[in-house]
Structure 1
Amino acid sequence: MTSNARDRRLTALRASERVLSGKRPQTVREQLDRLATLDGLDELPDSYGEFGAIARLEQRVAELLGTEAAVWFPSGTMAQQVALRFGAELTGRDAVALHPMSHLERWERQAYSQLTGLRALWPTAAPRPYTAEELAGLGQPYGTAVVELPLRDAGFLLPSWDELVAVVEAARAAGARVHFDGARLWESAPHFGRPLPELAGLADSVYVSVYKALGSSHGALLAGNAALDGYARSWRHRHGGQLWTNWAAALAALDGLATELPRIPGYVRHAKLVATALAELPGARINPAPPQTESFQLYLPHPAEALSAANLELAETERTWFATGWTDALPGLAMAEIRVGADALEWTAEDVLAAGLRLLELVAKQR
């Protein structure tokens, strides 16, 4: 995408009066104005995370997840490398069991192997979470079993609670550790209907993001026991993640935990309403149906380019933002990830269907 096309898209999204999927981007001034309203402005900034907002954020996340400790990282990619390295050194095994559609494989440039020297074992290549039986059938030793909650690229898919417990037990039986790629753990918890400490307690380590759902500028935390805590701090430094100060990201994350985290179950419930309405569009497919988190995949029988153009026209002419990020999944069939947040709560099922039909009208006009 050229800079002009990107600027046009962002301008249209910011000017939209209604947003179904995603959220409006904020200017630097708007983000600074938000920071100026948060608690903690009169305390000294953190210094290498030793006190201040970062220390409070680490303590709060550990409390929420029920772990002994949580360590701040500037990115989830860095946090996950450290978690998998820890598992390899603790078990003496350089293999990692993970899904080929996982974030580690597709979106982190295989950092776990390129920088840490680990190798992957794939229990399955099917577009769904792997099962306990598939994990047990690997027939090779591995140090860590990685479970992405949810498996985003397969449609934000989650196992059932019993299936998840079975996977954990299979990994334990193989003498391996369990790591949850929980970049969207906050959004996954409602599906399981269990308290966060019970969910996180299944794993030896859990990575959570503080910018996706919680609205911080960046950052992640790696939670686990005291041994992981010390190891993670040492390797964070070696990876270049021992930044001088992170107070702005930490304050925003603390605010997100206090204000946004309680709203997420409502987003998950509303995603089901949105998906049901979208399923009525001609040729539409929803994956999964119903959604298991606040996000899901929408497929429509039109080229991605046409749908993107129609979405932009709808935003610029009627100030209604439907969805962006369309990609061609198959010839004549495009997919977009629908992410339901605060802006979508005002949409009724009738609103969703009407906007979808209007989008398709604009697509038809292009022919």
Structure 2
Amino acid sequence: MAGLAAYLPDGTAADHYGGGALLEGFEQRIADLLGKPAAVFGPSGKMLQNAALRVWADRAGQRSVALHPQCHIAADEADAYREVFGLEPVWLGERERLPGTADLEAIISPLGAVTLELPLRNIGCRLHPWGELEAFAALCRARSVPFHADAARLWESQPFYCRSHAEIAGLFDSLYVSFYKGLGGLAGGALAGPEDLVEEVRIWQQRCGGRLRRLFPYIASALQGLDQRLERMPLYHEKAKVIAAALARLPGVVVTPDPPQANAFHVTLETAGGDLMEAALDVAAESGFWFFDEPLESPDEGLGRFEITIRESAMPLSETEITEAVRHLQQALVQRRRPAPGAA
């Protein structure tokens, strides 16, 4: 915490309930980085993003929003889009693949907004090809439907596209970015878009309790992440590709996607009847190597799935160290094998 003070401008007063030069300057930096007229920072990106969708929907007079069934908004926020913000989902595409423009064309009902997640984490942190994103944007323009990006991992996605953050953001009418994932901040995110949209989101933020009395610690950690980690995102991506290629050569291991499109990918392996979480804890207790906070849901009996994310703490680890750790995980699963019902 003391080290974060270096990222706060000398002589600048603390922010106060969403105002002040420190917060306003930071928001302008994010707006400029993303090539948008305005941005609003808050401790909860989920709040900001759902608020933006509600504003777009109210303007259109349509509470229906196109969402992929596995996107974060639909799968990981306890239905906040519906229960708190009064939105209704229209499912865009199928659970285990990226949505395409054909999926959007198949939706003939009016929409308040269309949302894509970059990358779609729950199916392996997959990203659309650039031409497909452009086609989505063109189709939304033709239908006069706002196009929003859940771009919490925009920083991690940028190396895949080899375009500036502003060029990627330019395809969308609004987008949300996070500061506590690859950038390593304490918490928080920003919603960027037109000035009038951002001002309405500020009102929703206040309604939801998101305009805290002091936000400067979160701002300081976000500034640190931007200064120290943003330029390292291509290195994280390259490391992820190297590690994924090595793991894909292990017997009984499948990597998705191969190669990774961002700094994260899914690993699927046979569990041998053992509990994946318990086996991971065994490996951690023995070696200190930590794979994941919790395993992912696997649709297939006898298979376990988890995500490997490459950030700063993984950079010193060699390809051999990581592959050996996965071998140890496989061994721990065998040792954790549960006897079949009725076995002696």
> What is the TM-score of this pair, normalised by structure 1?
0.87
Give the match for residue 237 of structure 2. Answer: 268
Query: Superposition pairs for residues 130-145 of structure 1, below 5 Å?
Result: 130-145=99-114
Give the match for residue 341 of structure 2. Answer: none
Give the match for residue 334 of structure 1. Answer: 304
Mean CA deviation greater in 113-122 or 174-183: 113-122
TM-aligned CA distance change 1:366 to 1:157, over 3 Å: same
Q: Distance in 2 between matches of 1:160 and 1:50?
A: 39
**Percent of aligned positions that are identical:** 37
Answering whether residue 200 of structure 2 is matched by residue 231 of structure 1, we say: yes
Measure how far apart 1:304 and its partner are. 8.5
| Of 248, 267, 270, the match for 2:217 | 248
Measure how far apart 1:145 and its partner are. 0.4
Q: Distance in 1 between matches of 2:211 and 2:316?
A: 42
Give the match for residue 360 of structure 1. Answer: 330
Give the match for residue 157 of structure 1. Answer: 126
Mean CA deviation greater in 307-316 or 139-148: 307-316
Answering whether residue 78 of structure 2 is matched by residue 114 of structure 1, we say: no
Measure how far apart 1:114 and its partner are. 1.6
Answering whether residue 97 of structure 2 is matched by residue 128 of structure 1, we say: yes
3-state SS, counterpart of residue 168 of structure 1? helix
**AA partner of residue 266 (structure 1):** L
C-alpha contact (below 8 Å) 1:268/1:340 kept by paired residues: yes
Of structures 1 and 2, the one with the larger relative CO (CA 8 A, separation 6+) is 1
Query: Superposition pairs for residues 123-202 of structure 1, below 5 Å?
Result: 123-202=92-171
Calculate the aligned-residue CA RMSD, in Å: 1.8
TM-aligned CA distance change 1:183 to 1:136, over 3 Å: same
Find runs of 4+ consecutive structure 1 residues off by over 6 angstroms. none
**AA partner of residue 145 (structure 2):** A
Give the match for residue 13 of structure 1. Answer: none
Measure how far apart 1:313 and its partner are. 2.5
C-alpha contact (below 8 Å) 2:272/2:334 kept by paired residues: no
| Of 51, 55, 58, the match for 1:82 | 51
CA deviation string 1:43-100 (max 9, x = no partner): 2210122124322221111111011010012211111121111111222222111111
Measure how far apart 1:166 and its partner are. 0.7
3-state SS, counterpart of residue 315 of structure 2? helix
Unaligned runs of 5+ in 1: 1-31
| Of 63, 66, 89, the match for 1:94 | 63
Q: Distance in 2 between matches of 1:94 and 1:324?
A: 35
3-state SS, counterpart of residue 217 of structure 1? coil
CA deviation string 1:292-326 (max 9, x = no partner): 11011100100685333333222222333344522
Give the match for residue 62 of structure 1. Answer: 31
CA deviation string 1:255-308 (max 9, x = no partner): 111111111111011000111111122211111111111011100100685333
Query: Superposition pairs for residues 260-339 of structure 1, below 5 Å?
Result: 260-302=229-271, 306-327=275-296, 329=298, 330-339=300-309
C-alpha contact (below 8 Å) 2:43/2:218 kept by paired residues: no
Q: Distance in 1 between matches of 2:297 and 2:146?
A: 37
Q: Distance in 2 between matches of 1:327 and 1:79?
A: 26
Give the match for residue 340 of structure 2. Answer: none
How many residues end up aligned between the 2 structures? 336
Measure how far apart 1:146 and its partner are. 0.4
TM-aligned CA distance change 1:304 to 1:270, over 3 Å: farther
Q: Distance in 2 between matches of 1:240 and 1:326?
A: 32
Q: Distance in 2 between matches of 1:312 and 1:248?
A: 32
CA deviation string 1:219-254 (max 9, x = no partner): 111000111122122221122212111010011101
3-state SS, counterpart of residue 298 of structure 1? strand
Unaligned runs of 5+ in 2: 338-344
**AA partner of residue 170 (structure 1):** L
Measure how far apart 1:165 and its partner are. 0.8
3-state SS, counterpart of residue 356 of structure 1? helix
3-state SS, counterpart of residue 7 of structure 2? coil
3-state SS, counterpart of residue 50 of structure 2? helix
> What is the TM-score of this pair, normalised by structure 2?
0.92
TM-aligned CA distance change 1:164 to 1:308, over 3 Å: same
3-state SS, counterpart of residue 275 of structure 2? helix
3-state SS, counterpart of residue 296 of structure 1? strand
**AA partner of residue 278 (structure 1):** L
TM-aligned CA distance change 1:39 to 1:234, over 3 Å: closer
Q: Distance in 1 between matches of 2:291 and 2:199?
A: 45
Mean CA deviation greater in 45-54 or 97-106: 45-54
**AA partner of residue 276 (structure 2):** L
C-alpha contact (below 8 Å) 2:272/2:333 kept by paired residues: no
